[in-house]
Amino acid sequence: MGSEKTIAVNLYGLQNSKKRNDKYNIIDIVERSAKIMLNNVTHLSFKNIEPNVLIEPPIDQFYGWDFHKANELIDIGYDTAKEILNDSSELFI
Protein backbone atom coordinates (compact mmCIF):
# COMPACT_ATOMS: atom_id res chain seq x y z
CA MET A 1 0.00 0.00 0.00
CA GLY A 2 1.15 3.61 -0.16
CA SER A 3 1.36 6.16 -2.89
CA GLU A 4 2.64 5.50 -6.37
CA LYS A 5 3.85 9.07 -6.88
CA THR A 6 5.08 11.62 -4.38
CA ILE A 7 4.89 15.39 -4.77
CA ALA A 8 6.95 17.36 -2.24
CA VAL A 9 6.91 21.09 -1.60
CA ASN A 10 9.95 22.78 -0.05
CA LEU A 11 9.06 26.20 1.32
CA TYR A 12 12.57 26.77 2.62
CA GLY A 13 14.24 26.89 -0.79
CA LEU A 14 17.05 29.34 -1.34
CA GLN A 15 16.85 29.93 -5.09
CA ASN A 16 16.55 33.69 -4.94
CA SER A 17 19.12 35.33 -2.67
CA LYS A 18 18.26 38.92 -3.52
CA LYS A 19 18.31 41.18 -0.49
CA ARG A 20 16.06 44.22 -0.34
CA ASN A 21 19.00 46.36 0.71
CA ASP A 22 22.64 45.85 1.56
CA LYS A 23 22.19 46.10 5.32
CA TYR A 24 21.72 43.01 7.44
CA ASN A 25 20.56 43.07 11.02
CA ILE A 26 20.50 40.29 13.60
CA ILE A 27 16.95 39.28 12.66
CA ASP A 28 17.96 38.88 9.00
CA ILE A 29 20.91 36.73 10.00
CA VAL A 30 18.87 34.52 12.36
CA GLU A 31 16.09 34.09 9.81
CA ARG A 32 18.53 33.27 7.01
CA SER A 33 20.35 30.77 9.25
CA ALA A 34 17.05 29.07 10.12
CA LYS A 35 16.08 28.84 6.44
CA ILE A 36 19.44 27.32 5.54
CA MET A 37 19.13 24.75 8.32
CA LEU A 38 15.52 23.85 7.44
CA ASN A 39 16.39 23.62 3.74
CA ASN A 40 19.25 21.22 4.53
CA VAL A 41 17.04 19.07 6.77
CA THR A 42 14.40 18.96 4.05
CA HIS A 43 16.88 17.83 1.41
CA LEU A 44 18.36 15.23 3.76
CA SER A 45 14.88 13.76 4.24
CA PHE A 46 14.57 13.50 0.45
CA LYS A 47 17.54 11.12 0.46
CA ASN A 48 15.42 8.61 2.41
CA ILE A 49 12.32 9.01 0.28
CA GLU A 50 12.99 10.81 -2.97
CA PRO A 51 9.90 12.60 -4.33
CA ASN A 52 8.88 12.13 -7.94
CA VAL A 53 8.19 15.85 -8.17
CA LEU A 54 9.78 18.58 -6.06
CA ILE A 55 8.18 22.02 -6.01
CA GLU A 56 10.34 24.84 -4.59
CA PRO A 57 8.64 28.20 -5.02
CA PRO A 58 11.10 31.11 -5.02
CA ILE A 59 9.80 32.76 -1.85
CA ASP A 60 12.93 33.35 0.21
CA GLN A 61 12.79 37.10 -0.40
CA PHE A 62 9.76 37.12 1.93
CA TYR A 63 9.87 37.06 5.71
CA GLY A 64 8.01 34.65 7.95
CA TRP A 65 5.85 37.51 9.19
CA ASP A 66 4.75 38.77 5.74
CA PHE A 67 1.16 37.67 6.37
CA HIS A 68 -0.13 40.70 4.51
CA LYS A 69 1.52 39.31 1.35
CA ALA A 70 -0.40 36.02 1.50
CA ASN A 71 -2.06 36.51 -1.89
CA GLU A 72 1.28 37.18 -3.57
CA LEU A 73 2.82 34.10 -1.92
CA ILE A 74 -0.14 31.94 -2.96
CA ASP A 75 0.17 33.17 -6.56
CA ILE A 76 3.91 32.39 -6.61
CA GLY A 77 3.28 28.89 -5.22
CA TYR A 78 0.43 28.26 -7.65
CA ASP A 79 2.43 29.43 -10.68
CA THR A 80 5.50 27.41 -9.66
CA ALA A 81 3.45 24.26 -9.04
CA LYS A 82 1.59 24.65 -12.33
CA GLU A 83 4.86 25.05 -14.26
CA ILE A 84 6.57 22.08 -12.61
CA LEU A 85 3.54 19.80 -12.81
CA ASN A 86 3.09 20.64 -16.50
CA ASP A 87 6.76 19.73 -17.07
CA SER A 88 6.22 16.46 -15.18
CA SER A 89 2.87 15.53 -16.70
CA GLU A 90 4.24 12.25 -18.13
CA LEU A 91 4.53 10.94 -14.55
CA PHE A 92 0.79 11.01 -14.10
CA ILE A 93 -0.28 9.08 -17.19
Residue 21 located in a structural domain: yes
Residue 2 located in a structural domain: no
Residue 54 located in a structural domain: yes
| pTM, full prediction | 0.71
Residue 1 located in a structural domain: no
> Cβ distance 47 to 1 under 8 Å?
no
pLDDT tens digits for range 7-21:
888 887 665 555 556
What average pLDDT does range 48-77 have in this prediction?
87
Q: Which domain holds residue 33?
A: 7-92
**C-alpha distance from residue 88 to each of 6, 14, 20 (Å):** 12, 22, 33
Residue 63 located in a structural domain: yes
Residue 74 located in a structural domain: yes
Residue 80 located in a structural domain: yes
pLDDT over 60 at 60, yes or no: yes
Residue 51 located in a structural domain: yes
Mean of all residue pLDDT scores within the chain: 82
Farthest-apart Cα atoms in the chain, separation: 51
